[in-house]
Chain A
Amino acid sequence: MSIVDKGKEAAQGIAQSVMKKAVELAPGALLPGGRPDPLIRRQHGHIGKPVSRVDGPLKVRGAAPFAAEIALDGMVYAALAYSTIAKGRIVTLDTGAAEAAPGVVLVMTHRNAPRLNPPPRFLSGDKAAAGDDSPVMQDDRVRWNGEPIALVLAETQEQADHARSLIRVTYAEEPAATSLPTADGCEVGTFMGEPLRAVVGDADAAFAAAPHKVEAVYTTPGHNHNALEPHGATLVWRGDELFIHDATQAVAHTAWSMAQIFDLEEAQVHVSSPFVGGGFGAKGLWQHQILAAAAARLAGRPVRIALSREGVYRIVGGRSPTEQRVALGADADGRLTAIIHRGVTPKTRHSPMPEPFILPTQSAYAAKTFALEVQTCYLDMVANTFMRAPGEAVGTVALECAMDELAEQLGMDPVELRILNEPEKDPLSGRPFSSRNIVAAYRAGAQRFGWERRNPVPRSRREGDWLVGMGCATATYPYHRMPGGAARITLDAAGHARIDVAAHEMGMGTATTHTQVAADRLGLPLEAVTVRYGDSSLPGVILAGGSQQTASVGLSVMMAHQELVGELLKLAGNDSPLAGLGADEVECADAGLRKLDEPGRFESYASILARSGRSELVVEGSAPMPLETMHWSMHSHGAMFCEVRVNAITGETRVSRFLGSFDCGRILNPKTAASQFRGGIIMGLGLALMEETQFDGRNGRIMNRNLSDYHLPVHLDVPEIEVIWTDIPDPHAPMGARGIGEIGITGTGAAVANAIHNATGRRVREFPITLDKLL
């Protein structure tokens, strides 16, 4: 993670002996002196082909099963009642009418809920999954406005919803911190155990002395993920074992965490989640799964809990608002002398992290001095959490708008200003970049977009009532690979391989991409590979988050593959054309092994297995610790170009063209990758122009808790978005590929804002840029 990636100190903090051991364990591929993943060199395989999704036919028929669609015998339906105060105590809680209502099986409150351990907060342990570690219905305390105070189980959803409406509650309210001025303390935020603070030189002095400078405050509101599938689970106890059909980005984490909460062994909890209807960081462990499991145990019935859209807003966290001050100082040539990026963001005491908006600034530009800091202030509100590109999504809004403002002041082209300030090595850690081709991405993007047609003078192009302008910004997101990756390969006598890995599919095309990669790795046709995923019984602790799943799965399969080759050579024995060869003398091709420089020495998998009397061969591999990020600064980048049309009379902004030019290492599947890039960009258009979680600072309640009042980009808001990429493999990443799932949302907000400035001459620094701000 990027905090691991934080500085020389961290790298040196690892004792030499540990490093040595790690070097032995880690594949040479990713460490100094190592050989890159051999698949990077392979040019004519399945990797890089626009393969259509293997689960496409299921999805277009609506036949892919989601969590709240599994039907279990004897199942009852849950409905939640939510608190309407931000802080205090429940004084009376009358559930009599609800209990007497038709079809009701159970009303659970803090009075009869089973004793539960607090949920392990995400990042507090390897497999901790919870977005909030508040006690779950264990006492009469209310900790946020919207906290569940009662759960009803009934034979039908209609009965449960009605009974829930009959619950009567009174509170003893206490003063709550629901806005920054009333915050319950502020301090420097931490992210993964490291302070969100970096100081190099005296940035304030350098800024004061700089001949060119800009300084401004940018604000971004809260955001909600709004995955189209609301959170839900269908679960059942069978004896002391709990089976959860969940919508989650973390099957293994959820199984372990539920076991902690219910005092079970990890193996007693089974989590299955083959299809997730969008996640974006929100599909983790929240109170609904815990409450449903507790109620299922009390009632002795399987339970379906399908959160209403409002329910998602009440108990699942979103992105916190930020207030960021960016000050940039530059010399006469435009070289940055000071980068100051400080600001404040609210957080709860029970959530894993503050919105880390300085992350993109840590490695974006060369400068002599830096002063970066996130102040976090504690509020009584629903937990804040990870949302697509936490830190970078909103951090690039401030940094990249400020760069545009500086370019304007210097009279420089904003693309050239950025290229001029390209760092040669990581500006804070001093580590070399594993692969950084942002200049190439800018050049290609600018040419394709027709950037040279941009008039640098704002408000100089008008077509009828429409003011037209162009803007650009840099997108950036780090390469992550989290510990715990593992995978199993089962090769059968017919030459078919099955990959088992506890990964997730929430739209990324997981099964498709890893079928391609594994087919290339094993020298098999696509039809001979199946990828099984989405179940906690499968190997690996693999989060679908941090854009790291592909790297984690890819390396795990690579390690399992090394095992497989070793085992096959052993089985082949002395009667094989392969006799006497070592693992590094052979390659996988044509459904068998062959000598690298002597293709005639070949034996098929089927033949090896048949001769050794085996019906199948099963191997497992584990990914080593992610030490590559201690040697290299590893980041993906993009050059984002936007054209807007702003109505001079109404202030309405329409995005007419958008292009993202990416440098994310090797692109494994151009079809699914383009969709992920576009999806991120479209969420970025929402961030720029319309998305805002409206939080009532008087009572800590989210006001627009539905899809009518929280505006998402709709078809007419989305232009045809062009995406291109350098396709330059990163030699230090598995398959040469860095993650692609989050980067699209970064840089996009600033590109839109900068285009609006170019169109209208107006700098709007308060996001989203709604039409009232342009009048």
Chain B
Amino acid sequence: MGITVNGTDVDLPDDPRVSLLDLLREKLHLSGTKKGCDQGACGACTVLVDGQRILSCLALAVQYEGRSVTTIEGVGADGALHPLQQAFIEHDGFQCGYCTPGQICSAIGMIEELRRGVPSHITGDLHATSIPYSRDELRERMSGNLCRCGAHNGIIDAIAETYRANPQPEAAE
């Protein structure tokens, strides 16, 4: 059994040292997922595994046998962008674009965490079943995704607008 990446089955690498990130970038040529630190500190390599956001630089590819990985290439296509991608463009939620795929994948995973009622560091009531979509919640939950260009305001605007308009869970992607 291999790994499913954006709906396609791919083989596990022979070399167990290959990270999920390097499998994507170097073997599958899915270079939309970025490497900013290779140490789990920047979020540029964020992908979704069975809908949850993970840092693919800290994941060995062989550990993900049988799992379903969604990268930025699986989020939207040319001419059929995900609403969040469109909102990033409208709100100028990027400059160089290097952190952007990670921000977008992270936001998609983050919104599901919020919808499930997973509390964050700044959530006041840890037992609340629903958590308000406040700007601060979004900012806190996106803080693992660095942006050196300083597109933070546009990123949060884009996320807030996309999910304020559509606060319900999405159909499976």
List A residues at the B interface (Cβ < 8 Å).
52-53, 55-66, 68-69, 71, 156-158, 162, 225-230, 275-278, 280, 306, 308-309, 505-509, 671-672, 674-676, 678-683, 706-708, 712-718, 720-721
Contacts and interface: CB of A to CB of B under 8 A. Distances in A.
Interface in B13-47: 15, 17-18, 22, 25-26, 29, 31-42, 44
13 contacts: A53-B92, A59-B94, A60-B97, A62-B101, A64-B97, A66-B31, A156-B15, A158-B22, A227-B98, A230-B36, A278-B148, A280-B148, A720-B135
Contact of B41 (A65, A68, A706): A706
A675 B154 contact: yes
A715 B96 contact: no
B22 A59 contact: no
B50 interface: no
A275 B97 contact: yes
B90 interface: yes
Given A60-B94, A716-B143, A681 B150 contact: yes
Given A60-B104, A228-B44, A507 B89 contact: no
Interface in B54-89: 71-73, 75-78, 81, 85-86, 88-89
Nearest to A310: B39
B89 A672 contact: no
Contacts of B115: none
Contacts of A65: 31
B39 A507 contact: no
Name A's interface SS.
loop
A507 B114 CA distance: 30
A76 to B, nearest CB: 12
B128 interface: no
A57 B92 contact: no
Contacts of A678: 150-153
A721 B149 CA distance: 14
A228 B98 contact: yes
Interface residues of B, number: 64
Nearest to B27: A156
B78 A62 contact: no
* A62, A508, A713 pick with most chain B CB within 10 angstroms: A62
Contacts of B85: 57, 60-61
A62 B73 contact: yes
B53 to A, nearest CB: 14
A667 B13 CA distance: 50
A718 B88 contact: no
A746 B95 CA distance: 19
A57 B77 CA distance: 9
Interface of B: 15, 17-18, 22, 25-26, 29, 31-42, 44, 71-73, 75-78, 81, 85-86, 88-90, 92, 94-101, 104, 122, 135-136, 138-140, 142-156
Given A276-B96, A278-B98, A672-B92, A69 B17 contact: no
Contacts of A676: 95
Given A228-B149, A309-B36, 14 more contacts: A57-B78, A59-B94, A61-B32, A156-B18, A158-B17, A228-B148, A275-B96, A275-B97, A277-B98, A278-B148, A507-B97, A678-B152, A715-B156, A718-B153
Please name the 8 residue pairs, one residue from A and one from B, whose CB atoms are nearest each other, closest first. Answer: A62-B32, A507-B95, A59-B97, A679-B150, A277-B98, A682-B150, A507-B96, A62-B101
B76 A679 contact: no
Contacts of B156: 715
A62 B33 contact: yes
A598 B31 CA distance: 54
A709 to B, nearest CB: 9
B150 A63 contact: no
Nearest to B87: A60
A156 to B, nearest CB: 7
B115 to A, nearest CB: 19
B36 A228 contact: yes
A52 B95 contact: no
A718 B31 contact: no
A675 B150 contact: yes
Contacts of B76: 60-61
A277 B151 CA distance: 13
B141 to A, nearest CB: 8
A228 B42 contact: yes
B104 A229 contact: no
Given A66-B31, A157-B26, A275-B96, A680 B150 contact: yes
A679 B150 CA distance: 4
Contact of A707 (B92, B95, B146, B153): B146
A724 to B, nearest CB: 14
Contact of B95 (A66, A157, A679, A712): A679
Contacts of A275: 96-97
Contacts of A712: 146, 148
A308 B73 contact: no
A675 B89 CA distance: 12
Contacts of A62: 31-34, 71-73, 100-101
A55 B97 contact: yes
A228 B81 contact: no
A57 B138 CA distance: 23
B150 A683 contact: yes
Contacts of A63: 32, 73, 78
A344 to B, nearest CB: 29
B149 A309 contact: no
B98 A66 contact: yes
A683 B81 CA distance: 30
A600 B76 CA distance: 48
A718 B90 contact: no
Contact of A56 (B37, B89, B101): B89
A60 B89 contact: yes
Nearest to A505: B96
Nearest to B75: A61
Given A61-B32, A62-B34, A230-B35, A52 B142 contact: no
Contacts of A59: 94, 97, 100
A712 B41 CA distance: 11
Q: Which of A55, A156, A708 has the most CB of B within 10 A?
A: A156
Contacts of B37: 230, 309, 706-707
Contact of B148 (A61, A69, A157, A226): A226
Contacts of B152: 678, 682, 713, 715, 718
A66 B71 CA distance: 17
Contacts of A682: 150, 152
Contacts of A162: 17
A162 B17 CA distance: 10
A157 B136 CA distance: 40
A280 B149 CA distance: 9
A712 B95 CA distance: 17
A376 B75 CA distance: 52
A308 B36 CA distance: 9
A681 B151 CA distance: 11
A227 B148 contact: yes
A64 B71 CA distance: 15
A337 to B, nearest CB: 39
Contacts of B75: 61
B45 to A, nearest CB: 11
B35 A61 contact: no
Contacts of A229: 34, 36, 96, 98
Contact of B39 (A57, A228, A280, A706): A706
A554 B77 CA distance: 34
A660 to B, nearest CB: 12
B43 to A, nearest CB: 9
Q: Identify which of A60, A162, A230, A506 gathers the most chain B CB atoms within 10 Å of its CB.
A: A60
A715 B142 contact: yes
Contact of B38 (A57, A308, A714): A308
Contacts of B147: 228
A453 to B, nearest CB: 23
Nearest to B42: A707
Nearest to B147: A228
Given A507-B149, A683-B150, A708 B139 contact: no
